[in-house]
Structure 1
Amino acid sequence: MTDERVATLTTLLAEPDFAEIRPEGQSLYDYSVTTLRRALRINRAGITANSLWLGRGEPSGFPDFLRAMGWIGAYDASLLNVLVSHQIAGDACLSHASAGQLERYAPQIDTMEQVYCFASSELHAGSDLTRVGTTATYRHADRSLVLHTPDPADSKVWIGNSLYTGDVAMVLCRLRVGDRDEGHHWLRVPLRTAGRLNRGISVRGAEPKGGVEANQTGIIRFDHCVLPLDALMGRWAHIDEEGVYHSPVRRYRRFDECLATFTHERLFPSMGAAMAQRLACAITTRFAAAKRTFGSPLLGHAHYRQRLRTAAGRALAAHHALEALVERAIGRAGARHPAEDRLLHALITCAKTGSTGDARVTLADTRELCGGLGYHRLNQISPMQHDYEIAVTFGGDNTVLGYQASRFALRERAELAGLLDEAVGDAVDGSDPETGALVTAMRRLCEVLLTEVETGGPGAASTAWSRAVYQTLALGHWSTRAAEPAGRGLLRHYAAGCLLEHGVTGLRAGVLDQDDLLRADGLRTREGAAELGAEDLLALLDVPEALVRAPIAHGDFADRHLRHAATPRDALGAEALATALA
């Protein structure tokens, strides 16, 4: 299938408006406005929309949409986060709206006629959304809802799109009707009218951040903000004319119902982190082929090649893990809605923790492999490194997500086992016995680690299990698609590293022995030292040319950097400067 949206995106990225991610000297406010304008252009080009989500649009088009979102994230994580903030907020509305609300709001969400914000996290509660303090109290006298932040620590925080331009916030709060707390609910809250904040709402900046700067994040407080009753999302919640609350969902299940939208939310940073790794490796490969040191190109040095091969292996594994996951998500979508599929949620969580966790290492390694030039903003890697640091926390802290995913997996262990067996079946039966043996061992390790979670409770074993599942999905998908010698060698190098990462666990459980680990170490060393052609590696990474902006990705990188180098401005003049320093 042709990636039509990716092709449309790369054409758009080649236009002048996208030429410089953040033009030199542009203020943060102007950068934020530029980023929002770009998000609107991408949306209006039909590249992104909530109607393309799995469970809403045609399933066959979902992979192309998700890849486009990933490449947007590689171009600029701020741009991805502006779109994601709107879409996950839009999904909270679409997933919980009554039929009438859906008819009114779905068109404006799809076209970004109004920009939405996702207001769930709070300063005090953090990742523990069961403890949100924001309340909405039903007032029968005028059939309204009074939204309030009881304490400053209950303020909504890190709310993307909210600081300057957000029109609507989807607010997660506790609903109080009479003397009863009815638990978690979603409210649709208009933030601004004609650009001015509505009464009872204050927004302060959650800046400065370490990265993702142009996703204008705010801290929102509500001071007895009065809303019409229709602000309450009504798919499963209703307050009748007598002021009595009704819901077919039992109170203890309402929190889980509210969090269903997070299934998709975690796919976006996962894919963005995967594409960012591929872009960083492509830039590094091109630099390593052009930069000469000690008489030969960097790529000619064995140790350099080994380090680059390790980084590229992680990048391609992230690609294959996400592709494998999307295939299974599409296959399961007909049976139940993705938001209601706990096993799919667990697998997506494993992909999120694996891809974003590896991105931190890959981006750090490629930055170092490019030397001091890798730290220059124009060379793309360092900005991505800063931006994707937050991805391990965005959408839920990776460690906490590992706890949650392993609990879900234990409840549906037999079905998970069948799914993983299916994912690796072709790889195990394939023609490469070395790779097949490694994949088989990784599949066994997934079971060992899940048993450790079962016996010892969530903890370090949950983190190791989620990584092993992610790696196994990647290996199963990659093994059936590594046709070229360079791809097969890179796969074996990565697979051996995965097995060694979990080697002690395998030895302790008796599913591996010393010879298994020695063979894996020898395979990793052998493949790491092998020749690696730049053209072969770039073909495997397959990065659209429109995303490669770094001067170091070109043979004349020195000239390009000199052209970009600014001449110092003698603003004061020599005499004035001497006086100022005296």
Structure 2
Amino acid sequence: MTQREKELVRALAGPQFAPVRPPGLSLREYGLLTLRRARLLNEAGFTANSQWLGRGDGAAFPDFLRTMGWIGAYDLSLLNVLVSHQIAGDALLSHGGQEQLSAHGAEIDRMAKVYCFAASELYAGSDLKRVRTTATYDHADGTLVLRTPEPGDSKVWIGNSLHSGDVAMVLCRLVVAGRDEGHHWIRVPLRENGTVLPGVSVGRAEPKGGVTANQTGVLSFEDCRLPLSALMNRWAAVDADGVYSSPLPRHRRFEECLATFTHERLFPSVGAAHAQLLACAVTTRYAVVKRAFGTPLIGHAHYRTRLSTAVCRALASSHTMEALASLAAVRAAQDPPAGDQVLHALISCGKSGTTGDARHTLAETRELCGGLGYHDANQITPLLHDYEIAVTFGGDNTVLGYQASRYALRRRAEFDAVLDEAAGPPGAPAALRQLRAICDVLLDRVEKHGPGEDSARWTRAVHQTLAVGHWAAHPGGRLGGRLLDQYAAACLLEHALTALRAGILEADDLLRLEESHRAAASPPLDALELLEALGVPEELITAPIAGKDFAERHLAAAHDTPPPVATRPAAPEREARA
């Protein structure tokens, strides 16, 4: 771990952050506590908009992204509070003119005001081209009139907005002289000294199934009057005569408005990757101390296969994020990341893959820990509930597949070159080349038949290619190489029908793959090696089932008595091998 990561996890284990949700707090109090924690992390320099690609040191971006990942493993609500503020801030920093940056840049970076990101609407959902909120320019007094046409056009799932948001960055249609000029970002103050401002209505988007401490609201606007300076004017202007102008054609304005999402999709992805690592670490520890039929759980072959499969997905997600962070840093040094459609497509594939895999990994590890895995204190169930929604926010994964495949086809040669490089590390398994070929076959199908099921399969194959490519370049020792072989074989088996139809694999090849997958998954596992490969900081593992005394600790909690030993579970000993 880097020094930065070590300092972060020490902070997350400190008295201001432990436990994640102190007993007795109402939902509102928990949300306000989480906001205070977000500001503490921001003040300590762990996270801020100045560290985003294109603003801070690009070489330090992978460290920043890992920091956000561990925050997401600690508590997705905390990560979402930060991301809601930062992506809203990025909308201003990316689309505002120089005067707007000077006026508001500092308050964004310091979290002096809490920002909210207001893009999604009830009717439009992830199809942001269909948003119907309007900002109409009134030339008589030089103001913008923000309006929600129908209840279904309300901005929904707006993080930070319910109790605390000071400012919303609102994606809307700009109407000037009766003409719809398309999508623009508007800076909208929501509160002054805690009081909601005239023309703004804030309702509840709660209770939710998870991510409960990120206070989410429903925003609607009625005759909400704003100065013209609320319009982000880097590429849009209304002159003294009330005439609109922009150097961008109308369709490009929409694409420019969406560019800020490139970053947003990295954060649920890296959180989902680190959450999987944490769940697998808790499960590994439990599998050493819990016995079934006289043998530790990790000593049963079928249990090991299921555990190692979950670990493979977790490590693959982590490798995908490392690959994307490095790639993004390199590309951002050449061109602004906001306009990089190839990077946007790659990140969308990574988001779809990591968040989709998190649903399976967290469900599997919960089951592998039995009924105790369902206890809130044992960390896995809160992660399972929270990360379920990650496949939807930041862009629904299916819709992202449609968009990403269109971008990849538009920039096919450049996109292919990136994947070719990812698939070419020395000594990579043959499965990597075959996965790379499957990406081409699926994208060809999208080009022929249009976005659909093949888009979803293609995003999976791209995610897996990035994961296996980075993993092959950083195998992580004997166990890492064995898990890589297991994962690569599983990926090819997932795409078996596509590979057979395209002639990439023959039936006999698939039979051999199944055997190699079984051979890689069934041998004994050394718990300490496994925990070392997962790399989860000790400070983040608080689950009672992760310690030898889990039964005593569970009963102590049940009877509200002090725990019998120190609050941190001990690591398994070296002899814990099956």
Rounded Cα–Cα distance in structure 1 between residues aligned with 2:400 and 2:559: 45
Rounded Cα–Cα distance in structure 2 between residues aligned with 1:150 and 1:418: 45
Which residue number in structure 2 is paired with residue 82 of structure 1? 81
Which of 474, 485, 491 is matched with 2:467 structurally?
474
Which residue number in structure 1 is paired with residue 564 of structure 2? none
Rounded Cα–Cα distance in structure 1 between residues aligned with 2:503 and 2:324: 29
Rounded Cα–Cα distance in structure 1 between residues aligned with 2:31 and 2:454: 40
Which of 485, 494, 503 is matched with 2:478 structurally?
485
Deviations 1:409-455 (A, max 9, x none): 111111122111111211xx31xxxx621111111111111111111
CA RMSD of aligned residues (A): 1.1
Q: Give runs of ≥4 in structure 1 deviating > 2 Å.
A: 2-5
Rounded Cα–Cα distance in structure 1 between residues aligned with 2:523 and 2:336: 46
Which residue number in structure 2 is paired with residue 188 of structure 1? 187
Rounded Cα–Cα distance in structure 2 between residues aligned with 1:282 and 1:4: 21
Tell me whether 1:291 sits opposite 2:290 in the alignment.
yes
Rounded Cα–Cα distance in structure 2 between residues aligned with 1:253 and 1:331: 25
The letter for the 2-side match of 1:516 is D
Which residue number in structure 2 is paired with residue 30 of structure 1? 29
Is contact 1:403–1:458 with CA below 8 Å preserved after alignment? yes
- Structure 2 length normalisation: TM-score? 0.96
Which residue number in structure 1 is paired with residue 154 of structure 2? 155
The letter for the 2-side match of 1:424 is A
1:11 is displaced (CA, Å) by 1.4
Tell me whether 1:364 sits opposite 2:363 in the alignment.
yes
1:25 is displaced (CA, Å) by 2.3
The letter for the 2-side match of 1:471 is Q
Rounded Cα–Cα distance in structure 2 between residues aligned with 1:156 and 1:420: 37
Is contact 2:58–2:333 with CA below 8 Å preserved after alignment? no
Which residue number in structure 2 is paired with residue 341 of structure 1? 340
1:567 is displaced (CA, Å) by 5.8
Rounded Cα–Cα distance in structure 2 between residues aligned with 1:177 and 1:451: 42
1:130 is displaced (CA, Å) by 1.1
- How many pairs are equivalent? 561
Is contact 1:356–1:392 with CA below 8 Å preserved after alignment? yes
Which residue number in structure 1 is paired with residue 441 of structure 2? 448
Which residue number in structure 2 is paired with residue 514 of structure 1? 507
Tell me whether 1:499 sits opposite 2:492 in the alignment.
yes
1:320 is displaced (CA, Å) by 0.5
The letter for the 1-side match of 2:193 is A
Structure 1 SS opposite 2:442: helix
Structure 1 stretch displaced more, 515-524 or 307-316: 515-524
Which residue number in structure 1 is paired with residue 526 of structure 2? 533
Is contact 1:4–1:64 with CA below 8 Å preserved after alignment? no
Tell me whether 1:546 sits opposite 2:545 in the alignment.
no
Is contact 2:160–2:216 with CA below 8 Å preserved after alignment? yes
Which residue number in structure 2 is paired with residue 119 of structure 1? 118
The letter for the 2-side match of 1:223 is E
Rounded Cα–Cα distance in structure 2 between residues aligned with 1:17 and 1:58: 29
Rounded Cα–Cα distance in structure 2 between residues aligned with 1:252 and 1:276: 38
Which residue number in structure 1 is paired with residue 550 of structure 2? 557
Structure 1 SS opposite 2:132: coil
Rounded Cα–Cα distance in structure 2 between residues aligned with 1:320 and 1:99: 38
Tell me whether 1:354 sits opposite 2:353 in the alignment.
yes
The letter for the 1-side match of 2:430 is A
Deviations 1:361-396 (A, max 9, x none): 000000000000000000000010000000000101
Deviations 1:329-362 (A, max 9, x none): 1111122111100000000000000000000000
Structure 2 SS opposite 1:17: coil
1:5 is displaced (CA, Å) by 2.8
Deviations 1:215-236 (A, max 9, x none): 0000011010111111111101
1:292 is displaced (CA, Å) by 1.2
Structure 2 SS opposite 1:172: strand
Q: What are the within-5 Å matches in structure 2 for residues 128-527 of structure 1?
A: 128-426=127-425, 429-430=426-427, 436-527=429-520
Structure 1 stretch displaced more, 144-153 or 265-274: 144-153
Rounded Cα–Cα distance in structure 2 between residues aligned with 1:237 and 1:448: 41
Q: Which runs of 5+ in 1 are unaligned?
A: 569-582
Structure 1 stretch displaced more, 18-27 or 95-104: 18-27
1:501 is displaced (CA, Å) by 0.2
Which residue number in structure 2 is paired with residue 571 of structure 1? none
Structure 2 SS opposite 1:560: helix
Is contact 1:8–1:47 with CA below 8 Å preserved after alignment? no
Which residue number in structure 1 is paired with residue 572 of structure 2? none
The letter for the 2-side match of 1:386 is H
Which residue number in structure 2 is paired with residue 576 of structure 1? none
Rounded Cα–Cα distance in structure 2 between residues aligned with 1:56 and 1:473: 25
Rounded Cα–Cα distance in structure 2 between residues aligned with 1:456 and 1:319: 32
Which residue number in structure 1 is paired with residue 61 of structure 2? 62
Deviations 1:546-576 (A, max 9, x none): 11110001010111111211469xxxxxxxx
Q: What are the within-5 Å matches in structure 2 for residues 85-96 of structure 1?
A: 85-96=84-95
Is contact 1:158–1:218 with CA below 8 Å preserved after alignment? yes
Q: Percent identity?
A: 63
Structure 2 SS opposite 1:94: helix
Deviations 1:483-540 (A, max 9, x none): 4211111111111000000011010111110121111101100111111110000000
Rounded Cα–Cα distance in structure 1 between residues aligned with 2:560 and 2:40: 34
1:252 is displaced (CA, Å) by 2.2
Structure 1 stretch displaced more, 276-285 or 519-528: 519-528
Rounded Cα–Cα distance in structure 1 between residues aligned with 2:183 and 2:474: 45
1:281 is displaced (CA, Å) by 0.1
Which residue number in structure 2 is paired with residue 579 of structure 1? none
Q: Which runs of 5+ in 2 are unaligned?
A: 562-578
